[in-house]
Amino acid sequence: MFSSKWRLLKKDLKAALKSTPDPLTTQEETLVKEIRRITQEKNRNNVTRTMAYLHFFEKHPEIHWALLAHLVSRNAGWNMTDLKGEYLSKLLTGKEGRDFFVFLERGNWLIFQDAYPQLLLYDASLKHGRPLYHLLDALNVSKFMKPFWERFWKSGNSEELTKALIVNEQHYIENRVVRNHLYMATVMDKVMFKLQDMLSMNHILFPYMTPIQQKIKLVGGTVHHFSAVDERILLGRSLYELLYGVRSRLDQIVQWCSANKHTGSRKDYWPQLFNDVNETPPGHVHEMTMSPCKRKQNGSKIYSPRLEIVWEDWVHAEAETGDWFKSVNVLDMMKKNAKEFNGDIESVYCRTLEEIEFASQTKLTFFQNTEGRSADRP
């Protein structure tokens, strides 16, 4: 049974590789244009695309990937505003912060403009009462995805479709962002090293509210080896299994997402610790009086701004053309077992906050001492 499934998939993918696009009818051309228009409208910035994923999931909860994409996109937004927030704005130069924002924004934008048309085409198929996946070619979607959408239409296997979308989107950004020489020179070799290797800034958080204690909890995982496409795929699958692993917790995560609009500020999930208004005096670094995991903080809060306040909408160049899918051997990435996350990310994330605070304080003290010695010289 197991082996026959993969044999059939391999056969379907080989056929997809050899297929050629069908000519479109006038009605089909109109639908493709409308899908592109809606996608462009929703892809304005991280906030609009993140909420678009959620609204689609609320309409079609059978598309598990939309919820996973919403949560990962929330994390991308928090990372974007961190660059202008309390600590990282003091640890990175202005150019480093901008370079990293463009890197995050490009990847976030590219995935949405590739994946959201697929979601809209599924919605259109339901409205028409028949599969319209022959239009994936006209939307410049990889040939890899067509067999999976066709199988999903017949079987409703949400897990298989989610895994396929994870494989597709990570390969889609591989050469366009991760292996793009522009980002490798400015971000991958410099800023990513500083943030991930030195400061462990590589956590993906899923917030939810516990029903009894009415307390925000965090589960999630940590990114390792971001530059390796296989590792990113396994990370995505691990996060998916964590998200859907416990039904009661899944329901609480969905409830939290629906009740808390994404703004890009970490205040969205942790208002006891973060504020979207800067309370720290100029020339100072916020100092936590106790572990951030204690929740109840005394004094000022950590500055975590809303996205729209600190980053203008970015105007993107058109997505690079070309289909990444060249060989059916990529199916191996769907067969491999993903690493199981225990989900306990909260204490790890708290330690990361403390590390970043310490690094910011150290840098400030160093510059103050340097300036003091310069002022003392005759």
In this prediction, residue 141 has a pLDDT band, given cuts at 50, 70 and 90, of: very high
Residues of the chain with pLDDT > 90, as a percent, come to 63
Enumerate residues 6+ apart whose C-beta is below 8 A from 159: 64
Q: Are 146 and 136 in contact (CB under 8 A)?
A: yes
Q: How far apart are CA 215 and CA 223, in angstroms?
A: 26
Range scoring the smallest mean pLDDT among 143-157, 300-314, 338-352: 338-352
How far is residue 297 from each of residues 246, 275, 281, 287, 300, measured CA to CA in Å?
31, 12, 18, 11, 8
Residue 374: the pLDDT is 46
How many angstroms separate the CA atoms of 149 and 164, rounded? 9
At 268 the pLDDT is 97
Give the pTM.
0.92
Please compute the mean of the pLDDT values over residues 193-220 and round it to a whole number.
78
- Residue 369's pLDDT is 55
Q: What is the pLDDT of residue 366?
A: 59
Token look-up 């340097």 returns 370
Name the range with the highest mean pLDDT among 94-103, 116-125, 206-215. 116-125
User: Is the dihedral angle over the CA atoms 13, 32, 126, 167 positive or is it negative?
Assistant: positive
Beta pairing, strands 302-303 & 274-275:
parallel
What does the pLDDT read at residue 367? Answer: 54
Least confident of 141-145, 264-268, 343-347: 343-347
Measured CA angle at 88 (ends 83, 92), to 5 deg:
90
pLDDT at 63 over 90: yes
Higher local confidence (pLDDT), 105 or 378: 105
Percent of the chain with pLDDT over 70: 88
Mean pLDDT of the chain: 88
Q: Give the containing element (helix H, strand E) for 10.
A: helix 2-18
Beta carbons within 8 Å of 191's beta carbon, 6+ residues apart: 92, 96, 99, 100, 103
Helix, strand, coil shares of the chain, percent, nearest 5, are: 65, 5, 30
What are the structural domain ranges in the chain? 4-312+323-372
Cα separations (Å) of 234 from 166, 192, 201, 221, 242? 9, 20, 19, 11, 12
Mean pLDDT of 56-79: 97
The pLDDT, as a whole number, for residue 176 is 87
The amino acid occupying position 344 is D
Lowest mean pLDDT, pick from 17-21, 75-79, 356-360 = 356-360
**Burial class of residue 350, CB neighbours in 10 A (0-12, 13-18, 19+):** middle
Residue 120, pLDDT > 90, answer yes
Counted residue by residue, the chain has a size of 378
- The per-residue pLDDT for 376 is 47
